[in-house]
Amino acid sequence: MSDKGILSNQEQDQLVKLFDDIKLDLTVTDFPTRTNRLEAVNNMAKVLKIHGWLVIEDPEITESPSKSQREETAEEISSDKHQGRENY
């Protein structure tokens, strides 16, 4: 964004795409998955950055495994223990 607050053509194109990606499908009654929520938040952060805002990501939130990833890892460890594998 320029000093006068005017968006370049490239920034305008980026915003159109980002806003399209952020749109929620309100016909779906299920709660959005963690991946979908974080993707939407990431796109919102990009919009803020284009407008000159400082965005700080909390690594504990963005890098931590989701509940399903934690459950999957626990199942793999349990399976390895059950099968007598030592590298779990």
The full set of domain ranges for the chain reads: 9-82
Name the residue with tokens 């990501």: 57
Structure tokens at 87: 């590298």
Buried b (16+ CB within 10 A) or exposed e, 69-82: eeeeeeeeeeeeee
Q: What is the mean pLDDT of residues 12-32?
A: 83
Q: What is the mean pLDDT of residues 7-23?
A: 91
24-81 pLDDT per residue, tens: 666 777 887 777 888 888 899 999 999 999 998 877 766 666 667 667 766 666 666 6
pLDDT of residue 88: 47
Q: Whole-angstrom Cα distance, residue 78 to residue 59?
A: 28
Q: Check pLDDT > 50 for residue 11.
A: yes
pLDDT of residue 83: 62
pLDDT of residue 74: 65
